[in-house]
Amino acid sequence: MEKDILAILENISGEDLSDQLDDNFFDAGLIDSMATVDLILALQEKFGINIPVSEFDRTQWDTPNKVITRVKELANN
């Protein structure tokens, strides 16, 4: 699952983030609001989870490790 998430992040950001797992990709300018929508859609499609945009809190999704944690939580519900 982690490799798939990192692949999605790389596809969207254009950067391999596997060595930047705790770096904030929003602050780094790697993912903007349009890319965030792409990220949500890609994660939902790949993992069969639901991430309501209206409930999306950027601070809970701003590093690769946080994305991995959140996807695992949602996939286990």
Distance of CA 64 to the CA centre of its chain: 6
Count of domains for the chain: 1
- What torsion do the CA atoms of 44, 47, 48, 53 make, to the nearest 10 degrees? -20
Given CA atoms 30, 33, 35, 36 in this order, what sign does their dihedral have? positive
The mean per-residue pLDDT over the stretch 18-26 comes to: 96
Range of the domain at 14: 2-75
The model's confidence at residue 76, banded by pLDDT at 50, 70 and 90, is confident
The model's confidence at residue 52, banded by pLDDT at 50, 70 and 90, is confident
Distant-in-sequence, close-in-space partners of 31: CB < 8 Å, separation ≥ 6? 9, 12, 13, 25, 39
The mean per-residue pLDDT over the stretch 16-25 comes to: 96
The mean per-residue pLDDT over the stretch 22-51 comes to: 95
Least confident of 7-11, 37-41, 50-54, 62-66: 50-54
CATH number at residue 24: 1.10.1200.10
